[in-house]
Structure 1
């Protein structure tokens, strides 16, 4: 690589790095400044007001909203993962024409926008008495977020040699045992990818809780943050501190599983 190409590459990397880091820097500096003084988002504060964080958590009732978000996330994540991995495995071993038909059906979920069936979903949850409940919201998130994990699992299973399952069958393993003890442990990379995709979509979901959760006690963090801004918009340091509190769990989760993500996304690209 010549000098001009190297400089161009470094320039592009520096630009995208700045796009990522500058908002994080502003978020952190404003959250630690004094709300009574002049706020400068591009300057480190002379005195760090760490008290903005506990005040924001208390004023915004963020602990309650955090609990609600975790409740929805756990239900959505567990059900989506189990159903997706089983569906992907079934499509891999099903009859060709049936597998292709069902796979095309699931792909429609990746094409249609999530809010296309909002009215029907609202009426259905009302008939089932699941409106304003975390279970109802989790059902909507599972139904709307299963297409991509199924696609990823199917592509991964196509790279797993059938000889592995045949060897387990010869050793006396039942189909259920082969699936849970032989196949599932192999899916760690793609499972890590699905975890972060599902978690981000569920944690940051704003439209779903806004439509299906009407009670203040059932609000999730994105909705709670919206009402925090509505009621306390003049206190920008506390609002930014609340934003850090909302973003931190998913950021930590991403840092924990990010080394598996690229491997999971390209799981079927160079094999099979």
Structure 2
């Protein structure tokens, strides 16, 4: 077997693996879309296209599930969580980059515990603290929980990114009379776009799809976010699968659209700290 044949076999195998992975990823999306358009009064067939597309399932899902109200709740929590987490992790990563070596390393290891410990480990303690602070059953309280649980990875990514930025750039700005505040926001911040986009989509995905924390810390139905709002389609003896799947499609659409717009920055941000240069 010559070199050309081996190359063709390897290329064919790569395509087959890629096609298999694509089918594996798209099959759940196909089931989600088809079930959401099937007749609510008919039999449920996840792998069959409906004879008639029942688009009214989406309208009914919005009304039944009160999705507009829950969308506002999710968006409120998302804005608070992403803005505070991005700002705090960016400043922490920059401070750790310029801190004394041994102190910065120990503090960084403390933050890394957030990647090791499970997020639900301190649920009882967090619940009691929020109750004492009158933040239980509030969007601000939920945002605090999501921020505290989501700082570790963004800090890690920012720190690795700042380590690749030559110190000469900042030193030149200081020599030109740039203050510390202006140095960070006009020199350092603009070059963090790739890692900021990566952190933003990670934080936004975690906040938007969070089910456990809203279920625990937002007991009131009026305060629910979209993932917990899906429980409205589950009744005591039956589940309206068509409306449930239609609601799931609408919930997944905004965050998927966001990912499409920023996905070109994600790989750059993740590997931004892998190579010094």
Query: TM-score scaled to structure 1, two decimals?
Result: 0.97
Q: Summarize deviations over 1:20-40 as a string: whole Å, max 9, x none.
A: 111111111111111112332
Alignment partner, residue 263 of structure 1:
268
Give me the whole-angstrom Cα distance separating, in 1, the residues matched to 2:73 and 2:191: 32
C-alpha displacement of 1:232? 8.6
Q: Summarize deviations over 1:113-142 as a string: whole Å, max 9, x none.
A: 001111111111011000000000000100
The equivalences for 1:1-272 within 5 A come to: 2-230=7-235, 233-272=238-277
Give me the whole-angstrom Cα distance separating, in 1, the residues matched to 2:276 and 2:171: 19
C-alpha displacement of 1:230? 3.6
Partner-residue secondary structure (3-state), 2:234: helix
Give me the whole-angstrom Cα distance separating, in 1, the residues matched to 2:46 and 2:276: 48
Aligned length: 272
C-alpha displacement of 1:172? 1.3
Give me the whole-angstrom Cα distance separating, in 2, the residues matched to 1:82 and 1:230: 42
Q: Does the 8 A contact of 1:233 with 1:239 survive in 2?
A: no
C-alpha displacement of 1:14? 0.9
Q: Does the 8 A contact of 2:233 with 2:239 survive in 1?
A: no
Q: Summarize deviations over 1:6-51 as a string: whole Å, max 9, x none.
A: 2221111111101111111111111111111233222222221111
Q: Does the 8 A contact of 1:232 with 1:239 survive in 2?
A: no
Runs of 4+ in 1 over 4 A off after TM superposition: none
Ranges in structure 2 where 5+ consecutive residues have no aligned partner: 1-5
When residues 117 and 98 of structure 1 are mapped into structure 2, their CA distance, relative to the original with a 3 A threshold, is same
Ranges in structure 1 where 5+ consecutive residues have no aligned partner: none
Give me the whole-angstrom Cα distance separating, in 1, the residues matched to 2:256 and 2:166: 35
C-alpha displacement of 1:228? 2.0
Q: Does the 8 A contact of 1:33 with 1:49 survive in 2?
A: yes
Give me the whole-angstrom Cα distance separating, in 2, the residues matched to 1:249 and 1:231: 30
C-alpha displacement of 1:245? 1.1
C-alpha displacement of 1:3? 2.5
When residues 235 and 228 of structure 1 are mapped into structure 2, their CA distance, relative to the original with a 3 A threshold, is closer
